[in-house]
Amino acid sequence: MDFSLSEKEQKLFDRAKAFTREHITPKALELEKRNEFPKEVVQKAFEAGLMNLHIPTEAGGPGLTLLDETLVSEATGYGCAGIATSIMCNNLAFAPLVIGATTEQLKTYVEPLINGKEPRFGAFCLTERKAGSDAGAVATHAERDGDEYILNGMKCWITNAPQASLFTVFASTQPELKTKGLSVFMVPKSKGVKIGHIENKMGQKNSVQAEVIFEDARIPKDCLVGKEGEGFKIAMKTLDKTRAGIAAIATGVAQRALDESAKFANIRHQFGQAIGNFQGIGFMLADMGCRVAASRQLTRYAAWMADRDIRNSKDSAFAKWFAADSAMQNATDAVQIMGGYGYASEYPTEKLMRDAKLLQIYEGTNQVQRFVASGVILRESANLDTGFHVKYDGKDAPVM
C-alpha cells in the first residue's frame, strides 16, 4: 500500500497551494466584506489551469482524476472555502454531463465554455423550495414539444447561478414516477431562464447562490442527458463523486483551523508560559490534528475508488460528513484556543467557523450522508456470516 502522491499529483497540489498563498489567503477576509462573486481570483484560477479539471480530453478538457480535483479543493479550501466553492462549482455543474452526456454533447455544450480566454460557468440545479434532501419532490417540469422540451419551474440555492451560461437542470418528465420520472437537461442561458432572489448567508460569502426560474424555457431535444427517467441515477452518481470535493474543501478548512490556532498557542503567553504548554490546549490541538489526518485519508480513499470505478457511495458519504464535521469542530476549537482574538473578525478563525457550517449542509446534509451510508451498511450486512450462531435446542435461533 502506497500512501504517497505521485510526482504529478504532488506538483499539482504544490501549484494549488502556491496559488492559494498568493491569490486567496491574503485577500479572503477583505473580499468577504464585498459579499460578491470573487471574479478576479476565479479568473486567475482559470488562467492557472485550476478549473474544469475533470472534463475529458475528448471534450477538450484536461481529463484529470477526482483525486487531482480533491488536491486542488483542499489547497484552495485552506485559503477560503467560499472562493474554493466558486472555483470548483463547475466540477459539480458539469459532473452529471461527464457521467451521462455523449462526447458529441460535451463538445457542443461544454467545450466552448472551458476553452475561452475567460472562465465561463455552469450551475447544478437540483434543489427547490419544497425539494431539498428529498430530490424526488422536484416539481420543475419538462415537456416534450416536437424537437424541443419546454421547462417550467424554479430552483433555489443554486451556486454560481448569476454567472452561469449553462444550467444542468433536474426536471420531472413523468411526475407520477417521482425519482424514476426525473430527467437531466443542459439548459443554455436563454430568454426563458431568469435569475431570481440572491440568497443571503452567514458564511462562504465569497460564493454566490440564487434562484433560477424557468418560464417556458425552450431547449432542443438533444439537451436531454442520457434517457428520460435517468436523472435521479445520474444525480446520485454525481454526488458520489462530488462529495469527495466537499470533503477536500473541509479538510483544507480543518487544517487551516489547526495551523492558525497552533501558531497562536505557541506565541500567546498566559500565566508566564505559552498556552500550548497547558494540557487542556495541547490535547485540543492533538484531536484537531487527528481529525485532519482522518479527513484527508477518507477523502482521498473515496476519490481513489471513484477513479477506479469502484462504487463509493458509502465511502464518499463517510468522507463528506466526517470531514465537514471535523472542519466545524476544528474551527470551533480554533476560536476557543484563540480566545477573544479567535472571535474577532480581523483574525481568520471566526470566518472559518461560519464557512465550515455550510460544509455540513450543502451537497447532502450530514444527516443525509448517514442515511446513504446506513443504507449501504444494512444491505452489505444482510447476508453477513459473523461466525456467531445462537442455538436453541440445537437449532439456529429464530430471527427476531
* Residues tagged active-site: 363
Q: Which three cell numbers stand for residue 335?
A: 476560536
Closest CA to 193 of 222, 226, 225, 171: 171
Output b/e per residue, 98-111; b: 16+ Cβ within 10 A: bbbbeeebbebbbb
Q: Which three cell numbers stand for residue 52?
A: 474544469
Binding mask 111-140 for ligand FAD (x = CB under 6 A): -------------xxxx----xx-------
Smallest gap, in angstroms, from Cβ of residue 371 to ligand FAD?
A: 5
Task: Using the rule CB under 6 A, give the single segment among 97-105, 154-162, 234-242, 269-277 that binds ligand FAD.
Answer: 154-162
Q: Which three cell numbers stand for residue 179?
A: 425519482
Task: Using the rule CB under 6 A, give the single segment among 104-112, 156-164, 223-231, 272-280 that binds ligand FAD.
Answer: 156-164
Binding mask 289-318 for ligand FAD (x = CB under 6 A): ------------------------------
- Contact present, 121 and 89 (Cβ < 8 Å): yes
Beta strands 164-172; 209-220: pairing state: unpaired
3-state DSSP call for residue 156? strand
Nearer to ligand FAD, 6 or 133 (CB): 133
**Helix (H) / strand (E) containing 375:** helix 366-381
Is 343 near ligand FAD (CB under 6 A)?
no
The burial class, CB within 10 Å (0-12 / 13-18 / 19+), for 202 is exposed
**Contact with ligand FAD (CB under 6 A): which of 41, 368, 372, 373?**
368
Is 275 near ligand FAD (CB under 6 A)?
no
Give the span between the Cα atoms of 233 and 346, in whole angstroms: 45
Smallest gap, in angstroms, from Cβ of residue 364 to ligand FAD?
A: 6
Task: Using the rule CB under 6 A, give the single segment among 59-67, 152-160, 214-222, 239-247 that binds ligand FAD.
Answer: 152-160
Helix axes 81-100, 231-267, angle to 10 degrees: 160
Phi first, then psi: give them for residue 87, nearest 5 degrees. Answer: -70, -40
**Within a 13 Å sphere around the CA of 234, how many CA atoms are in the beta-carbon half?**
30
The CA-atom distances, in angstroms, between 171 and each of 151, 184, 239, 381 are 8, 6, 17, 34
Is 157 near ligand FAD (CB under 6 A)?
yes
DSSP bridge partners of 186: 168
Task: Using the rule CB under 6 A, give the single segment among 33-41, 234-242, 356-364, 384-392 that binds ligand FAD.
Answer: 356-364
Nearer to ligand FAD, 249 or 358 (CB): 358
Give the span between the Cα atoms of 312 and 142, in whole angstroms: 31
Is 201 near ligand FAD (CB under 6 A)?
yes
Task: Using the rule CB under 6 A, give the single segment among 136-144, 172-180, 301-309, 366-374 that binds ligand FAD.
Answer: 366-374
Smallest gap, in angstroms, from Cβ of residue 327 to ligand FAD?
A: 15
Longest Cα–Cα distance of the chain, Å, equals 80
Is 90 near ligand FAD (CB under 6 A)?
no
Binding mask 369-398 for ligand FAD (x = CB under 6 A): --x---------------------------
Smallest gap, in angstroms, from Cβ of residue 35 to ligand FAD?
A: 13
Smallest gap, in angstroms, from Cβ of residue 125 to ligand FAD?
A: 6
The burial class, CB within 10 Å (0-12 / 13-18 / 19+), for 185 is buried
Closest CA to 202 of 353, 34, 333: 353
Is 358 near ligand FAD (CB under 6 A)?
yes
**Contact with ligand FAD (CB under 6 A): which of 212, 347, 362, 372?**
362
Is 167 near ligand FAD (CB under 6 A)?
no
Contacts to ligand FAD by CB under 6 A: 124-127, 132-133, 157-159, 201, 204, 209, 358, 361-365, 367-368, 371
